[in-house]
Structure 1
Amino acid sequence: MSSFELAALILLCLLGWFWLDSIKVRELGVQAARSACRREGVQFLDETVSISALRLARDADGRVRLRRVYDFEFSASGDDRQRGSVMLLGNEVTMLDIGSRRPAEFTRH
């Protein structure tokens, strides 16, 4: 096996690991967003999250981990779409934001 083939195999293995790890962490993000929406009494729209940022960061022990930020949408009244986000450092949720919700406006007739 040549050094080029070995490097290609290592790269392929790393890409496979990254893909599988991303699926697992994304599901943790979905679970965290779903739980937060249930706790706040809002509807978790589309039942999914989408990645908005990916970077390296250090955890509390100083180890380098991947920090992923996922966005999701929720609705307080069913007629609106509001954006929330969940940040994961490695496999741990480090921040979850569903924004400042304002009460629905009603019109008197």
Structure 2
Amino acid sequence: MTGLFVILALVLAVVYFNDAWRSIERARKVARDVCARAGVQFLDGSVVAAGVRPDWSGGRLGLVRRYRFEFATDGNARYTGELSLRGRRVRVVSMDLPDGGRLLDPDSTGPGPGGERP
């Protein structure tokens, strides 16, 4: 019986880390696309996990993952952006600019994988 729990725990860990990896890849693509649309430079080509929390919306349990990224408007100063995903869908993208914060509509990020809207 203990062996069954160990196998189940390993399977759940693999599923979780696979989902986390796919989410990071999606967040990186969204951040790159948003920066390109905003006319700023996406720095370092990476995103950093900023948090994970459970979310019960639409009658289904899911995870909301937050990521941070950095961008530059002129190549000199770094600014921070943040995005959140629920599954593969973009919930919100915000970018801190020197002239104040700017909130981008998730629909501005374009279609998601398979052509569905975020």
Calculate the TM-score normalised by the size of structure 1.
0.87
Residues 64 and 84 of structure 2 are in contact (CA less than 8 Å); yes or no, is this contact kept in structure 1? yes
The size of the alignment, in residue pairs, is 100
Unaligned runs of 5+ in 2: 101-118
Match of 1:102 in 2: 99
Displacement, 1:90?
1.3
Percent identity among equivalent residues? 31
Give the whole-Å Cα distance in 1 for the aligned partners of 2:48 and 2:24.
Answer: 8
Give the whole-Å Cα distance in 1 for the aligned partners of 2:98 and 2:8.
Answer: 47
- Alpha carbon RMSD of aligned pairs, Å? 1.3
Give the whole-Å Cα distance in 2 for the aligned partners of 1:51 and 1:36.
Answer: 17
**3-state DSSP class of the match of 1:16?**
helix
Aligned ranges for residues 1-109 of structure 1 at < 5 Å? 3-59=1-57, 61-102=58-99
Larger Rg, first or second structure (1 or 2)? 1
Unaligned runs of 5+ in 1: 104-109
